[in-house]
Structure 1
Amino acid sequence: MLRSVCKLILQNRVVYSKLICICHFPARRFFNSGSKSPDQQSLTVSYLVNSCGLSLQQALSASKKVNIEDTNKRPDSVLELFATYGFAKSQVSRLICIRPHLILADSDLTLRPKIEYFQSLGIVGPDLPKFIISNHSLLFTSLHNRIIPNCDFLKGILETNENLVRSLKQTPCVAGGNIEKTMKPNINTLRAIGVLTSHIVKLLILQPQAFMLRDDLFKEVVLEALEMGFRPKSRSFSLAVRSLSRSKVNWDKKSEVLKSFGWSQDEVLAAFRVQPMLMVCSEKKIGKVMDFLVNKVGLKPSDVARCPNLLLTSLERRIIPRCTLLEILAANDVFKKGRDIVWALNSTKEMFEKKFVTQYEYRVPEAIKAYWSEVESLKSTI
């Protein structure tokens, strides 16, 4: 009997040895110096969830990139710093979810000087967290070698901190970009063809991103604007550059939306020459306004093409309330629906109310009531 048992053990020794290897090798590999132990991982995940406000799934993902047990850094100091500068917990969570290594950054040497610098420029209050979150890479960009020189260069052209802040808010990445290779040559390109400094300043405030194109691509944009007939000294030239600097794909998509409502290619180009900001509007906005004006108001596509400003106005805040009023006035035979409707929709608030609200306040009170009702209801949703 004993002999049989011994024989059975010897026969299965190889299998038993393999089982031992399979069970223990992964554990040995898991605890290599480059990996996190389950305890370390659980501590990091727990910290990310309980202190940083990440969801469990976000924390598990972030814990693959950062380990609070492997450092003598004090992650609490980073959270305290953000709280000091008015960051909400949800904003901190978002930042750490995107850049988990933030919790291991040196709060005093790496983070605080940059936040204080932007604060000193005038980015304060709720705008400060929004600005930092919109371009979190600035927190890891050299303050003295990149951020300050870039901002000094911009301020030299924009002249005031107020203009600088407006520009930075439009495109925060400009503060950390390579201005020497992009922005400076592109500004020189505009100056060389006679674009006025005041127009360059305006473009830098409204669309600094345009100047971050590669210089050869920027020159193509400038040449295209010239070929379309825009004169360099006109304000519309810089607006055309602003629109054209956005991708060619976007231009084509917006053109197709307009053509789907009956515009010709010539009408697209003519409308762009009249109002270069037309192509800054989103495809959704263009389609929504065109659909309302053509299919609900009854305008011809060519009517809108001759007054492309209509596509820049708010459908909810301007066009719908005005059309509501004009519809009731037309029903009361005091306004001919086909007459002056484009002018009425495109006129300033003061001009419109003087001609159509004040004039009919007592003659058609229900129309005025409907108009103000629309205006007030929209105010409450803004």
Structure 2
Amino acid sequence: MFHFICKALIHHRAIDSKTTHVRFLQTIPCLNSISNTSTTTDPKSLTVSYLVNSCGLSSETALSASKMVAIESTERPDKVLELLRTFGFTKTHIIRLISKHPPLILVNPEKILRPKIEFFESLGITGPDLPKILCSNKQILLSSLKNQIIPTFDFLRGFVKTNENLICALKQSTRVVRCNIQKVMEPNILTLRAHGVPERNIARLIVLQPQSLMLRIDLFKEVASSIREMGFEPMSRSFILAIRSMSMISKTKWEKKKKLFLDCGWSEDEFFLAFKVQPLCMLCSEKKIRELMEFFVNKVGLKPSDAAKCPNLFLTSLERRLIPRCSVLQVLISKGLIKKDVNIVWVLNSTKEKFENKFVKPYKEDAPEVIKAYQSKIGFQGFNVHWKIGTKKKEA
């Protein structure tokens, strides 16, 4: 008898396929269906159904979200979605935002959301950047505009001066919106001043990576002292780049990356020299360090010490820059169009414009293969050349 009732109930629902709630309830076991009250008044059913059909969440995500939010009426959620779409939020943005913080679907859109969105718009954040930034950190739309967001941005603007710089800082780390300025950022800035770092460089650090100044106060002091002991000049730009680098990774990761460079053939002196020349090389992942070092030594034919002299190379892309350039040289050398004593480090580190003007454009007629090589349509097999690495570039 029970089986018959369930079967009949499912059949009855299948007939009215135009009703959203009915379609959703077909997935609920028969026992729940006959033991609860009418389907249209079930908050959890409405919540999951709305999150799936109106917000675009998956059934699994919607079911999980229903534990944090209960939609009893669609009036307010509809207004929230309407407001978000008005400001350019796409379906993907809405899914990301509501998935991260489901209760946002029930906030007052005019009192809570609109003022904050309009504030960020007034800074000059428009177009796709607006929803992208606001969706990247759920805390932005949850923070108090009056007590948190505006005071934080006023403080930062005092250093970076322009809204353009403010936007750059925000794009680097949206976490800055929730930073406790008085208890964290101000003390860390005082530490930089105590070391003699000029205001312009503090401003530069905020623009480049404001998260660096959100490190725990005692750890930040330790980082600043360590960098000073390494010989970095506080007045120099490299000092704040070193701050940025060391403050973004833990001591454990720092030591692991240092050991990796040493295992690849660098001496202690070469490691510290490379770090002083380009502090950001320590922000590379261990995987990228291994791949690049293997490429430089086994494919290009450089010595590990050669790579240490130009650590900027570790900030470049293997696929987009290094391999295409080496492929071009491979073609030109094979055809005898350039000498084999070209300074390969200079070639790999030069700007896009300089490289193209030197090694691509002049040879398009005599060796059209350089275009294919530059477009990565010709594989790079590796050089069989002994490179002479000097302090100055050699002309091809």
2:252 corresponds to 1:235 = no
Amino acid at match of 1:101: P
Q: Which residue, out of 93, 105, 108, partners 1:106?
A: 108
Whole-angstrom CA distance in 2 between matches of 1:375 and 1:165? 38
Q: What's the counterpart of residue 187 of structure 2?
A: 185
Change (3 A) 1:64 1:327: same
Does structure 1 conserve the Cα–Cα contact (< 8 Å) formed by 2:40 and 2:46? Answer: no
Structure 1 residue 372: Cα displacement: 4.2
In structure 2, relative to structure 1, the CA distance for the partners of 1:365 and 1:192 (3 Å cut) is: same
More off after superposition, 257-266 vs 223-232? 257-266
Distance 1:243 1:43 in 2: 49
Indicate yes or no: 2:323 matched with 1:320.
yes
Amino acid at match of 1:346: N
CA distance in 2, matches of 1:267, 1:298: 19
Q: Is the 8 A contact 1:267 1:305 kept in 2?
A: yes
Check conservation: 1:327, 1:337, Cα contact below 8 A: no
1:342 maps to 345
Aligned to 2:70: 67
Q: Which region of structure 1 is more displaced relative to structure 2, 137-146 or 350-359?
A: 350-359
How far apart are residue 255 of structure 1 and its match?
2.2
Range with bigger deviation, 349-358 or 283-292: 349-358
Contact 1:189 1:219 in 2 (8 A): yes
Structure 1 position 86 matched with structure 2 position 79: no
Answering whether residue 292 of structure 2 is matched by residue 294 of structure 1, we say no
Q: For 1:181, what is the secondary structure of its paired residue?
A: helix
Pick from 117, 120, 126: which aligns with 2:119?
A: 117
Residue identity matched to 1:229: G
Question: For residues 110-137 of structure 1, what are the alpha-carbon distances to aligned partners after superposition, in whole Å with 9 as ceiling and x for unaligned?
Answer: 1111111111111111111111111111
2:222 maps to: 220
Distance 1:37 1:217 in 2: 56
TM-aligned CA deviation for residue 220 of structure 1: 0.6
Instruction: Give 1:1-382 correspondences, 5 Å limit.
Output: 39-69=42-72, 74-247=76-249, 248-337=251-340, 339-362=342-365, 364-374=366-376
> Larger deviation: 207-216 or 291-300?
291-300
Q: Distance in 2 between matches of 1:83 and 1:297?
A: 51
1:90-147 Cα offsets, whole Å, 9 max, x none, are 2112211111111111111111111111111111111111111111112111110111
- Residue 74 of structure 1 aligns to a residue whose secondary structure is helix
2:152 is paired with a residue whose SS is helix
Paired AA for residue 244 in structure 1: M
Q: Decide whether the 8 Å contact of 1:207 with 1:242 is kept in 2.
A: yes
| Contact 2:332 2:367 (8 Å CA) reproduced | no
User: How many residues get paired?
Assistant: 344
Displacement after TM superposition at 1:327 (Å): 1.3
Q: Which runs of 5+ in 2 are unaligned?
A: 1-31, 380-396
* Unaligned 5+ runs, structure 1: 1-26, 378-382
Give the conservation status (yes or no) of the 8 Å contact 1:286–1:311: yes
Distance in 1 separating the partners of 2:306 and 2:209: 30
For residues 52-100 of structure 1, the C-alpha deviation after alignment (integer angstroms, 9 at most, x for no partner) is 111111111111111112x797211111111111111121122111111
Q: CA deviation at 1:232?
A: 0.3
* In structure 2, distance between residues paired with 1:366 and 1:174: 50
The TM-score with structure 1 as length reference comes to 0.83
Shift of 1:348: 2.3
Identity of aligned residues (%): 56
Counterpart contact for 1:65–1:101, Cα < 8 Å: yes
Going from structure 1 to structure 2, the CA distance change for 1:242 and 1:287 (only over 3 Å counts) comes to same
Q: CA deviation at 1:343?
A: 1.7
Q: Is 2:83–2:114's contact at 8 Å kept on the other side of the alignment? A: yes
Contact 2:327 2:374 (C-alpha < 8 Å) held by counterparts: no
Taking a change above 3 Å as real, the CA distance of residues 38 and 290 of structure 1, as seen in their structure-2 partners, is farther
Aligned partner letter, 2:226: E
Secondary structure of 1:374's aligned partner: coil
CA spacing shift, 1:369–1:91, aligned 2, 3 Å: closer
In structure 2, do the counterparts of structure 1 residues 255 and 141 end up closer, same or farther at CA, with 3 Å as the change threshold?
same
Q: Do 1:138 and 1:176's aligned partners in 2 also have CA atoms closer than 8 Å?
A: yes
Larger helix percent: 1
SS of corresponding position for 1:139: helix
Shift of 1:375: 8.9
For residue 359 of structure 2, give the secondary structure of its aligned residue in structure 1: helix
Question: 306-315 vs 328-337, which deviates more?
Answer: 328-337
TM-score, length-scaled by structure 2: 0.81
Q: Is the 8 A contact 1:54 1:97 kept in 2?
A: yes
Cα gap change, 1:205 to 1:361, in 2 (>3 Å) = same
Backbone CA RMSD of aligned residues:
2.6
> 1:83 and 1:366 mapped to 2: Cα distance?
49
| Cα distance in 2 between the residues matched to 1:118 and 1:336 | 55
